Structure 1
Amino acid sequence: MFERIKKWVARSPDSRPEQADLQAVEAWAMARELGFESLFNDGDFALTGQQAVWSWRLERTEPVRDFIQGAELRGRADVALPEDVAVMLINRPLKEDLEKRVYEQVTHSVQTTLDADLPEEARWLSLYDEVGWSTAPLEFWDRYAAVADTRAHAQQWLEGDLLPLLMAWPTPAVQQITPFILQLQRGRVYLRMEYPHNDVPTLEHALAVFTQACVSAQLLSADGAEPI
């Protein structure tokens, strides 16, 4: 079902936003005193801001991952985490799709290593174990999977104020099937998700998720976390 819906979105004649949509995004950003930059392609933009002492950047651009159609929303913030902290939260339909690709490559080839054209996220699924904990609601695990270097890092980051935001997307499609990834790696917080239309409610919630992920990551960095 995930692949069929993605193909339908890719065929949609409205997959590129109209100029009015971009103007609505700019007006929303200016009202919140965020930096706004219109990028080269029609409808693409960058937002910049500050969270605590850390600067962040959130861009709507052409996708650089083949599992994203139309356009992607990509965020990055350097929050000075320890370099060895590695956590990826991924929505389940995307995880299942990437695992299928890895399985097919391994079983239908004489290769003993993963192909270089597989996205980095597929390699994470091979490198790290899926982790979970009982204090998160079952509905959360129905929608998402967490893979990490240690369960403690993932739990400390995702619980608290971040988890309710991850469960409260404004549209059902984003909650259930839209490719979505939130990562801690190399001392930074990353967000990557499919975002073919410049609708402000989804953008506003994505920014809330991203900036809260930065706040929660700073708490992890300050407090530390021991493996469970």
Structure 2
Amino acid sequence: MLDAFKHWFSRRAGLPGERALAEWAHAQGHHFKRSRDADGFIVEAHDATWRLEWGPSQRRYIQGQELRLRAPLRGASGLQLLVLKRSLLDLLEKQVFEQYTQGLQTRIDLATPDEMRWLVLHPKLPAAEMQALRGHFGAVGQPLPALAGWVGGALGTALVEHAAARNSDDAPLLLIVQRERLTLRMAMARPDPQPIAELLKLFEVARREAQRVAAQWSTPSQDDPASSLWPHSVDGPDAPAR
């Protein structure tokens, strides 16, 4: 009974940052609501072009709370593209290496998300093509020319500006194109409107550039080359980092 009351009360009580985020969303004409478990928020764009979620992390490499932004992409079925902070790239490579050396093949098959599997399966974008992103971000994917095209223009500039604005902030951040969808993940302890608005600008640039690349490089839908190695892995939640 006590546990049930605590759960009911937690659903009724306001979460940190809820009022400010709701006011911001409504002022922009977006739709705001609590998540199903009442442990986070959902904001849907007024034109249905993107969906924002804030709540407990769905990835082990992000501790605490995270922000997730998702948007559909037209004709991007042949693209598998990933750009992420250099510190996060180093961490994920270390984790994948440890799983292999410790013989945890079953663990890899069942629970490893795409962003980790691709570090093994796909080539990295050469440092020379990273230009100003070098040292701040890493990128892997296929086709490699499409990856270069995605980060080589306006998105690269936006990422450099993002890194400069946050200076020493090393919060995990990644952008991934998979299954005709763009997703952004970033650690965010509190859902304050200003940093969310800044990330939305970055996300919109990434979405626009991904759509441009998709128009140039998209191919008919094909099986993920990872399927033979990780037949059960999907882009579902990793075990929540709680």
2:199 paired with 1:206: yes
What is the rounded CA distance, in whole Å, between the counterparts of 2:106 and 2:22 in structure 1? 49
Where does residue 13 of structure 1 map in the other structure?
Answer: none
The unaligned stretches of length 5 or more in structure 1 are 1-17
Q: Which residue identity lines up with residue 51 of structure 2 in the other structure?
A: R
Q: Contact conserved, 1:69 with 1:196, CA < 8 A, in 2?
A: no
What is the rounded CA distance, in whole Å, between the counterparts of 2:189 and 2:64 in structure 1? 5
Question: Structure 1 vs Structure 2: percent identity of aligned residues?
Answer: 28
Where does residue 149 of structure 2 map in the other structure?
Answer: 156
Q: Contact conserved, 2:123 with 2:144, CA < 8 A, in 1?
A: no
After TM superposition, the structure 1 = structure 2 runs for residues 119-130 of structure 1, keeping only pairs within 5 Å, are 119-130=113-124
What is the rounded CA distance, in whole Å, between the counterparts of 1:108 and 1:85 in structure 2? 31
What's the CA shift for 1:45? 1.3
What's the CA shift for 1:133? 6.0
2:41 paired with 1:45: yes
What's the CA shift for 1:189? 0.8
Question: What SS does structure 2 have at the residue aligned with 1:167?
Answer: helix
The total of aligned residue pairs comes to 204
After TM superposition, the structure 1 = structure 2 runs for residues 56-205 of structure 1, keeping only pairs within 5 Å, are 56-109=50-103, 111=105, 114-132=108-126, 134=128, 136-138=130-132, 140-169=133-162, 170-174=165-169, 177-205=170-198
Change (3 A) 1:29 1:134: same
Change (3 A) 1:159 1:36: farther
2:27 paired with 1:34: no
Change (3 A) 1:126 1:113: farther
Change (3 A) 1:68 1:111: closer
Q: Taking structure 1 as the reference length, what is the TM-score of the superposition?
A: 0.78
Q: Contact conserved, 2:129 with 2:148, CA < 8 A, in 1?
A: no
Q: Contact conserved, 2:93 with 2:119, CA < 8 A, in 1?
A: yes
Where does residue 218 of structure 1 map in the other structure?
Answer: 211
What is the rounded CA distance, in whole Å, between the counterparts of 1:143 and 1:97 in structure 2? 14
Q: Contact conserved, 2:71 with 2:181, CA < 8 A, in 1?
A: yes
What is the rounded CA distance, in whole Å, between the counterparts of 1:219 and 1:141 in structure 2? 23
Change (3 A) 1:136 1:67: closer
What's the CA shift for 1:144? 0.8
Greater relative CO, 1 or 2 (CA 8 Å, sep 6+): 2
Q: Which residue identity lines up with residue 74 of structure 1 in the other structure?
A: R
Q: Taking structure 2 as the reference length, what is the TM-score of the superposition?
A: 0.74
Q: Which residue identity lines up with residue 137 of structure 1 in the other structure?
A: Q
Q: Contact conserved, 2:16 with 2:190, CA < 8 A, in 1?
A: no
What's the CA shift for 1:41? 5.5
Judge which range, 99-108 or 142-151, deviates more: 99-108
Q: Contact conserved, 1:81 with 1:187, CA < 8 A, in 2?
A: yes
Change (3 A) 1:106 1:43: closer
What is the rounded CA distance, in whole Å, between the counterparts of 2:198 and 2:54 in structure 1? 14
